[in-house]
Amino acid sequence: MTIVIRRTLMLPVVMLLMMMPTSHADELNGWQQGATLNRIKSFVAAVTDRQSPDFVPPEQRVAVIDNNGTLWAEQPASPQLLFALHQAQLMVKDNPELISQPVFKAANDNNLALLREQGIEGLLQLFIATHVGLPIVEFDARVNRWIVEAKNPLSKRLHTDMTYVPMMQLLAYLRQHDFDIWLVTSGSAGFVRAWSERVYGIPPDRVIASELKTEYRVLNGRPSLIHMPEVGFINTAGNKAVAINERIGRRPILAIGNADDDIAMLQWTAAGDGRRLAMLIHHTDGEREWAYNKSKYASSLERGLQLAEQSGWLVVDMKADWRQVFSWQ
């Protein structure tokens, strides 16, 4: 367990620690007892036990974790896409002529099917139009205003209540065991960082995300970073492995994803020396969440399941392995 202590606060913190129980029996109680949970625990035990041949020093206990579909729900669409829809609707209010563009028409009608018919190009057009043109600080505030009230259109729950209880517990468990947790998401840095620390306890510098092309300019004497209407880096598939190396500079020992888009991240992690754990969250629970493997625009998980079988990756069966999915269930 790593505790960051300011020296002036040390004595009270030490006293507090001495009062804490040393076991946390209920810390993973959103998981069913069984092979999946055992495999997670035995991995963590092996890399944290100084007597183990698999021991990994704390500074090298790097964990990389996907966001959409891994830490929170991505059905019927990723929250960032729903945020983009909302922003597009505000734009249409101000500029009704925008509706002549199919992407804005689809967004304005909350018509996800029509939006997806516009293809990746259409989605990128929507993202860029709704994410560009604001100073970073104002964009953050806009995301935060939205996220405290926006609800999942199917469950009618806040997006921040659509996080998976077992995964939130796993984050806490990994932190207790000195893991250095990085969020590796296809979402944009500006969107995810606005809430990742509050919701996941993951600070801005631990978010590896997609980026719009950005330029530095001094405007009217004011140093400014300006998002260009152009994609700078899309953090998906092989790019996730590239970004992990560029940003962390160490190979992770634990990787968790839920889609074929996460294969490279899992492969890159698993191919390192020593003990590693590569995990896929499989959406099998049509009652408590959604059951899906194939999806044209959200995460597909097909090749990943084959590779998991060949490579011994751990596949988490949401229906069988999770006692609880959402906190409100």
Q: Which residues bind a copy of itself (CB under 8 A)?
A: 1-7, 10, 14, 17, 58-59, 136, 178, 189, 193, 203-205, 207, 211, 214-218, 222-223, 225, 237-239, 241-242, 245-250, 264, 267-268, 270-271
CB 143 within 8 A of CB 195: yes
Beginning with the edge strand found earlier in the chain, give each strand of the sheet holding 62-65 in spatial order: 222-233, 207-219, 180-188, 62-65, 254-257, 277-282, 314-317
Residue found by looking up tokens 């199917």 in the block: 154
3-state secondary structure 263-309: HHHHHHHHCCCCCCEEEEEECECCCCCCECCCCCCCCCCCHHHHHHH
Q: How far is the CB of 57 from a copy of itself (least distance, A)?
A: 10
Q: How far is the CB of 254 from a copy of itself (least distance, A)?
A: 16
**Cα(18)–Cα(11) distance, rounded to whole angstroms?**
11
Backbone torsions φ then ψ of 9, nearest 5 degrees:
-95, 0
Q: How far is the CB of 275 from a copy of itself (least distance, A)?
A: 17
CB 208 within 8 A of CB 184: yes
Of 216 and 296, the one with the shorter C-beta distance to a copy of itself is: 216
Q: How far is the CB of 299 from a copy of itself (least distance, A)?
A: 18
Of 212 and 298, the one with the shorter C-beta distance to a copy of itself is: 212
Q: How far is the CB of 35 from a copy of itself (least distance, A)?
A: 26
Q: How far is the CB of 87 from a copy of itself (least distance, A)?
A: 21
Q: How far is the CB of 317 from a copy of itself (least distance, A)?
A: 26
Of 62 and 103, the one with the shorter C-beta distance to a copy of itself is: 62
Structure-block tokens of residue 261: 């888009």
Of 178 and 285, the one with the shorter C-beta distance to a copy of itself is: 178
Of 66 and 289, the one with the shorter C-beta distance to a copy of itself is: 66
Sign of CA dihedral 242, 247, 249, 255: negative
Of 100 and 310, the one with the shorter C-beta distance to a copy of itself is: 310
Of 17 and 35, the one with the shorter C-beta distance to a copy of itself is: 17
Residue found by looking up tokens 């806009």 in the block: 142
DSSP state of 32: P
CB 47 within 8 A of CB 188: no
Q: For strand 207-219 and strand 222-233, is the pairing parallel, antiparallel, or unpaired?
A: antiparallel
